[in-house]
Structure formats: C-alpha cells, structure tokens
C-alpha cells in the first residue's frame, strides 16, 4: 500500500479502500501530515480539475468526498497528537450560512491541528451569530470562513459586517477560502487573507499569528 494508492482510492471515490490503505500507511509509520499533503489534498485537487473540464461530475465529487472523509477521520486524531507541544494559536473554523459542504473545511482543520493550532470547529451552515459567540467564548486569533458555492460566498462580506457591528472584528484575523472564493475577493469581502488550499491556509495562519 502506498500514498499513490490512497490518492487513487480517493479520486475513485472508494471509501473502503481509502480507509484500508490509510490504516496500512499508519501502521507502516507514514507521517499523518504526509498523508494529508501527498494523498488527500492532491486527490481533491485532481477531482476538482476534472469537474471543471467535464471529465467528472458532481456525483463523482460526492463519492470522492466520502472517501476523503474515511481517511481524514483516521488521520485527524493522529495529527492532534503530533501537534501537541507546539501550540501556535487558536482558530475558529466554519462553513458560512447556507452551505453544507465540509470536505475542504475538514482538510484545513486537520492540517491546522497538525501544525499546532487549537481548532474550534463550528461545522457547516454557520450563522454570523455563532461565529460571534465563538469569538467571545474562545478568544481565537483567527476566524476561518469557507464557502463552496457562489451563492454562499456572498455570505462572507455579511459575516464580516456582522463581526464589525458586534465589535469583535478587530480582535481576529479573517481567513477565507473555498471553491467559490478567490484571492481578489479579500478586499471586497473585508477579509485579511485567503487560502487557495489547505496547505496555503496553514501557511497564512502561521503568518497571521506571527504578526499578531
């Protein structure tokens, strides 16, 4: 079993094989972060590209998401252990109101944990009021907001305005991302920065806490 085998299983949407290969890789001593970087993230990127080109369809993406989850569910607890001892900061993470797509968010969460961040996961379809409550309760340095659809992406500037009106916006850095969010949206949406994928999101988060 290899990293490439896992990547292929995720692309093919084979959740049983993805789980089995992940278990074998873990037993063989493969670093959890390497699994995320070299298999899960590239697999999702490949499927997204094929979706755009018409080689794959939404139904394929759903199956790929389930296969990726099978891997992520095994890897995340290991990343939590690996991240222990090098605490970098706290992130409140959620998918904005009206959006229930969580695969990208889950990958970012796993990667942030592996890098040493404490992540408060608000899951999906998160109202601005819940982000505000989490900021007040957990006092994070960063809020990560993602959107998969173009319709839900327009909830991000609404979230930013809600944070301003609640007088908590200046307490955090707003990091945005997702399939329908782009780098050029940062100033328009009132965000502080953007992560193209999970790898970049982690690097941006590290810069944010260093500059805090």
pLDDT at 192 over 70: yes
Per-residue model confidence (pLDDT) at position 27: 94
Task: Please write the tens of the pLDDT for every residue from 29-67.
Answer: 999 989 998 999 899 889 888 988 999 988 888 899 899
Mean predicted lDDT score pLDDT of the chain:
93
Per-residue model confidence (pLDDT) at position 45: 86
Tokens, residue 194: 């953007």
Domain annotation for the chain: domains and CATH numbers: 3-83 (1.10.1240.10), 89-210 (3.40.50.280)
The model's confidence at residue 83, banded by pLDDT at 50, 70 and 90, is low
| Cα–Cα dist 182/81, whole Å | 32
**Range of weakest confidence among 11-20, 48-57, 176-185:** 48-57
Per-residue model confidence (pLDDT) at position 137: 98
Would you give the distance in Å from CA 11 to the centre of its chain?
Answer: 18
pLDDT at 212 over 60: no
Report the b/e string of 123-155 with b at 16+ CB within 10 A.
ebbbbbeebbebbeeeebbbbbbbbbbeebbeb
| Cα–Cα dist 29/137, whole Å | 37
pLDDT at 195 over 80: yes
| Cα–Cα dist 160/153, whole Å | 12
Per-residue model confidence (pLDDT) at position 85: 58
């Amino acid at each position: 079993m290899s990293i490439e085998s896992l990547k292929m299983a995720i692309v093919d949407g084979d959740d049983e094989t993805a789980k089995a290969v992940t278990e074998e890789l873990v037993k063989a001593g493969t670093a959890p972060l390497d699994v995320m970087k070299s298999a899960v993230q590239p697999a999702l990127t490949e499927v997204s590209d094929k979706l755009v080109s018409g080689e794959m369809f939404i139904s394929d993406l759903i199956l790929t998401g389930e296969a990726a989850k099978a891997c992520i569910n095994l890897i995340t607890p290991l990343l939590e252990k690996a991240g222990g001892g090098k605490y970098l900061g706290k992130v409140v993470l959620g998918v904005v109101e009206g959006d229930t797509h969580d695969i990208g968010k889950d990958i970012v969460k796993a990667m942030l944990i592996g890098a040493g961040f404490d992540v408060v996961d608000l899951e999906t379809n998160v109202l601005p009021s819940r982000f505000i409550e989490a900021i007040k309760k957990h006092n994070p340095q960063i809020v990560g907001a993602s959107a998969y659809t173009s319709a839900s992406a327009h909830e991000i500037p609404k979230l930013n305005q809600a944070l301003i009106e609640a007088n908590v916006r200046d307490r955090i850095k707003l990091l945005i991302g997702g399939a329908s969010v782009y780098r050029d949206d940062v100033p328009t949406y009132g965000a502080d920065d953007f992560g193209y994928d999970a790898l970049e999101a982690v690097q941006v988060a590290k810069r944010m806490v260093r500059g805090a």
